[in-house]
Structure 1
Amino acid sequence: MGVAIPESVKVWSQFFHPVLMWVLFALTFYALYLGVQWRRVRTTDDKEKKKELVKGRFNVRHHQIGSILLATMVVGTLGGMAVTYINNGKLFFGPHLLVGLGMTGLIATSASLTPLMQKGQEWARYTHIALNIFLVGLFGWQAITGVQIVQRIVDRMLNAA
């Protein structure tokens, strides 16, 4: 017993994942900015500057945006896979899928370091930073390969019309 999905929903659902991921890519840079600002708060010796920076609540905002990124990346990854399967009857096993799954694991691992960072573990901070730099690099590559996939979808739609 299956539920019939209207063809228009199947067609346009293919664009939800790419749009969501581009929004997340931009949000990733905002999280990076907040993380850098929070690091400035933690490492400055100037008490007046520290007082001023603390008002920005960079740590709270960094955690909030990071939580949104984590949840949305996991759901977006699963959603992209689901839409691909619904529209094609299979997943395309290739670099875009594998790197996307790897990124999901990286962001989860990075977020899992939070309790250790809160306890002052410097190795956890450096690991968090390194994982996220690697994640941003992979995200850039995913953005490029994702645009190529969207171009193939659009070409297929135009040729079918």
Structure 2
Amino acid sequence: MPEALAFNLNFVHPLLMWSLLAASAYALFLGIKAKKTRTGTPEQRKELIKGKFAQRHYFMGSLVLAVMVLGSIGGMAVTYLNNGKLFVGPHLLAGLGMTALIAIAASLAPLMQQGNLIARKAHVGMNMLVMTLFLWQAVSGVQIVNKIWTNR
């Protein structure tokens, strides 16, 4: 693999993850609006239904899940290709944990569609943990990018 390509591949994962963080925040916004649609007064619900927030949340959540899984695998692949090993540390372990949590949270969708309140609360709790870890990952990821950039 050409050296320039190998070096530039280091930045695909961070750029993708920053975009994913923004998409995750948007999915959170849509989820909040979907809850307001479900729990609001009849007048509020009538107005909010027009926004199709539940459908948009479901679509955005599916997109976030797919990109997170592919982005996690891609980040590990590029690290391995460029270094011949993975660096097992907090960034990798938190990223793997986030990927597992978001998959489990998404798997609760059928139960939530049946009105299961425990599944809904677990979904929200896991995704709040994912967002918290994601914010930390953003900071630790910038530190890793800075190391890559300065060790060029």
* Bucket of the pairwise TM-score, normalised by the shorter protein: over 0.9
Task: Name the CA distance, whole Å, in 1 between partners of 2:69 and 2:2.
Answer: 26
Could you tell me the percent identity over the aligned residues? 54
What is the letter of the counterpart of residue 151 of structure 2?
R
What is the letter of the counterpart of residue 108 of structure 1?
A
Task: Name the CA distance, whole Å, in 2 between partners of 1:141 and 1:47.
Answer: 39
Structure 2 counterpart of 1:135, from 121, 130, 145: 130
Q: How does 1:62-81 map to 2 (within 5 A)?
A: 62-81=57-76
Query: Secondary structure of 1:56's match?
Result: coil
* Unaligned ranges ≥5, structure 2: none
What is the letter of the counterpart of residue 95 of structure 1?
P
1:48, distance to aligned residue in structure 2 (A): 2.1
Query: Secondary structure of 2:151's match?
Result: helix
Correspondence for 1:156? 151
Correspondence for 2:116? 121
Moved over 4 A (4+): none
Structure 2 counterpart of 1:37, from 23, 26, 33: 33
Q: Deviations over 1:32-83 (max 9, x none)?
A: 0000000001011x22221110000001100110010000000000000000
Correspondence for 1:93? 88
Structure 2 counterpart of 1:103, from 98, 107, 125: 98
What is the letter of the counterpart of residue 25 of structure 2?
F
Q: TM-score, normalised by structure 2?
A: 0.99
Say what the alpha-carbon RMSD is for the aligned residues: 0.6
1:8, distance to aligned residue in structure 2 (A): 1.2
Matched positions, count: 152
1:149, distance to aligned residue in structure 2 (A): 0.1
Task: Name the CA distance, whole Å, in 1 between partners of 2:106 and 2:44.
Answer: 28
Query: Secondary structure of 1:26's match?
Result: helix
Task: Name the CA distance, whole Å, in 1 between partners of 2:122 and 2:102.
Answer: 12
Q: How does 1:48-67 map to 2 (within 5 A)?
A: 48-67=43-62
Query: Secondary structure of 1:76's match?
Result: helix
* Unaligned ranges ≥5, structure 1: none
Q: TM-score, normalised by structure 1?
A: 0.93
Task: Name the CA distance, whole Å, in 2 between partners of 1:121 and 1:90.
Answer: 43
Query: Secondary structure of 2:115's match?
Result: coil
What is the letter of the counterpart of residue 31 of structure 2?
G
Correspondence for 2:4? 8
Correspondence for 1:19? 15
